[in-house]
Structure 1
């Protein structure tokens, strides 16, 4: 499958680009970015063409992988889908519910395949653990806490990200939490949110299974306090996400590429644009609760 990459930031150069270049089922065609000089730099690192015109790149490929802020990703994803290009998208799908629905509708209307890269859902060991908890069932409580240190002490390659500074942990790591909670506990029927220190958001959710869940989401944790904590409690006891089980993001992205290729041949994946739009709806409801 011939892929083009939209985006030139750290995530594009550290994860998307290497995974696309290494994948045996991919012809990595080129890179487009909002800054031509950055596109030239990233394209040069992988020996592919730098595109000045995004429409020219879309015309030249079968699929696009997008590593752009959500406000830019959504309209470009709509354009690519309407051109008949398959989509490998990043989370969050969009910055607004309307934009998220526009992407999902474009995918449905054009009949293209879509995958949204929720990292843990494509990491093999993490995905197995999530599937095991979903199959076990009978959970009455879950929690998924993401303590990021992007803006805490210590350097992060994402510290200069304007959209992360604006949206905070709710929108950046909130999708990770929801991508674990929803397949295990079911869709969300109630959303409650409260502010904590810095950008910290506390979520309390009710699920259609009757279970409830909580999430603490932040990008401003001190580095010594950073990490991920996930657990489910129910009639079978307590299931705790094992530390150190997940592999490198490039490997997970490679599996996301596999999933998109399979979806082209065999139908939709659970982490498609429609699921990405549902996650956006929940994030927007939480944000409204904070206001």
Structure 2
């Protein structure tokens, strides 16, 4: 990893090229055949729906939901299976092509919008009861104030925002070490972290556009961006497990991944925030 100064547009374009290729690989690696069972939901949405349940009197049924950074639509369509009217937003054309094909195959209704998440309000029609984003999202964004403004703009009065993502403390760890060692910055300074990796987080395929850019965001930045956009924080949680293997030392537990026993209380793996637009 290199710390670099780069403008948003070229960084975003490099990331889009990488995710265009990942989308094709993930169609093969995500185990989409499981969705042929009408009762099947993604593990991510099972967890997130349970976290949202205390804040939704009637669950997701009948709600207008906008899923930001929806990728190939597995979580979006899981929300649809729970009764939501869904709009999925992503910057990758191949990802939304895959999402469209999966929705058609499953006979599920969804609207797909190709746009940068930082321009979502201008590109997406309508107002929403829930704006949802989960797992592997905001490190790809350089400006969380602009991100939060899109969320607030998409929500109708009384609507909820939900995010679950990798914890910034986790992202500071050296995933290759045999013990918990901090290596990468927790606090951002506006510069990007540049990575060159041919692999992806699932499956054995590789990409040719290997260069990507991410930005560290401490928890305080996430919370303050949402508050600054006019949202009221209802709940925050920190979790001990992940839906992907961050480090080779992590072991599988109930479909998620955890640190070896004895380390699980030392570092948070995820954070979850639920906020409301009054």
TM-score between both structures, scaled by the size of structure 1: 0.34
TM-score between both structures, scaled by the size of structure 2: 0.35
**Which one has a larger percent helix, Structure 1 or Structure 2?**
1
